[in-house]
Amino acid sequence: QVQLVESGGGLVQPGGSLRLSCAASTSIDSITIMGWYRQAPGKQRELVATIVSGGTTNYADSVKGRFTISRDSAKNTVYLQMNSLKPEDTAVYSCSAHKGIFTYWGQGTQVTVSS
């Protein structure tokens, strides 16, 4: 079993930046895919970005060029650097880990973009 703990959410003005962290309870090198998802009020959860164990990344079109996903194996942590934030980025952001046939989720962290 993998436990995931997110941090770094908060309130930021449009155009600002935040960095989210997702700390895993096990070596992330043993996890095939790690990702960030978000869910805004009244909307379905959507993929934001993923990173595979080899380092290849994938982004939703809505965040390409603004968000960057990265990983630090020494800290068993995955990051989501979010720049040029927009009000429509407001959502609960959750970290996921896909290992074997299982998918694990963190509790989520709120990101609010508002002036």
Strands 18-24 and 4-7: antiparallel
Residue of 106, 112, 110, 111 lying closest to 6 (CA atoms): 106
What would the pLDDT profile of 101-115 be if each residue is shown by its tens digit? Answer: 999 999 999 999 999
What would the pLDDT profile of 29-88 be if each residue is shown by its tens digit? Answer: 888 899 999 999 999 999 999 999 888 999 999 999 999 999 999 999 999 999 999 999
10 Rama class: left (phi>0) / alpha (psi -120 to 50) / beta: left
Helix or strand (DSSP H, E) at 80 = strand 77-82
Rounded (5°) CA angle 60-113-5: 70
